[in-house]
Amino acid sequence: MRFSLPPSPRVPPHLVALAEMSGFLLDMALAGLLLFALVDRLAPPQDLPWKPFSLNQPLGLATAAKLSRIAADPVACRVALNEGGVKFADQPVREKDFCSTRDTVRFASRLAPAAPVMTCPMALSYVLWERQVLTPAAREILGARVVRIDHFGTYACRTIYGRPGERPSQHARANALDVASLRLSDGRRLSVLRDFRDAGPEGRFLRAARDGACKVFGAVLGPDYNAAHADHLHLDHSPYHLCR
């Protein structure tokens, strides 16, 4: 007598396809996790949006996004200043018409006149610019250090260009800084008015300072913008982006 095994059940084609797709998706998920772990380990923290922000990191792919996120939170902004070693003092709020000193600080820096009042986000961007743009650019282009930054002020209760009927200037909220010149460790003084368009290293440095500022501030205006900015770089933390 011959015996035979019962036929194996036939798996429906749609279940086979579903199993294959599940296996493919699982492989993709594992590959994605491995790639994420590799990037998280090897990529510079300034290029990764999930890594903490630091004033001591060079500018990277994610710097602007992290800076914008921190600037929107007064507490996080002050934590970032503290962690960056910046000693600051909160300033009292004064409001008049459309002008305000809300969320402002003073801190020690190379600025002259010293310790102007500015918003915390503006202070955060300024320190980042000084450390990660001015310092390396001065070393690489000029072989010197920036020891003083002369400015025309931060807070001024006025409209744009001081014209009646214009919208309030960012200076009306201490959210802007006008840089006129920089003093170097070797005694040189670089003036925006005199040196910005110079073909030599002084001009290249000032233009590099402007270009680097565009990566950390909202609006950056200089001699290439109009005659009103021929003698200074206007840096502000406005929500729109303009680099000229």
Q: How far is CA 205 from the centre of its chain?
A: 19
pLDDT of the residue at 27: 61
d(CA 120, CA 185): 28
pLDDT of the residue at 214: 96
Contact at 8 Å (CB) between 120 and 81?
yes
d(CA 121, CA 159): 21
**Strands, E, within the chain: which ranges?**
88-90, 95-96, 99-100, 104-107, 111-112, 118-119, 146-151, 176-184, 189-191, 219-221, 233-236, 242-243
Measured N-to-C along each axis, helices 120-129 and 74-83 cross at an angle, to the nearest 10 degrees, of 30
The pTM assigned to this predicted structure is: 0.84
Structure tokens at 1: 């007598």
pLDDT of the residue at 45: 80
Structure tokens at 55: 């004033």
Domain boundaries, the chain: 53-243
Question: Could you tell me which of 146, 111, 133 has the C-alpha nearest to residue 55?
Answer: 133
Question: Could you tell me which of 146, 148, 170, 145 has the C-alpha nearest to residue 159?
Answer: 170
Structure tokens at 80: 């970032």
pLDDT of the residue at 150: 98
pLDDT of the residue at 178: 98
The mean pLDDT values, 10 residues at a time, for the chain of 244 residues are 57 67 66 58 78 94 93 95 96 94 96 97 97 97 98 96 89 98 97 97 98 96 96 94 92
Q: Which 8-state DSSP code applies to residue 131?
A: I
pLDDT of the residue at 165: 83
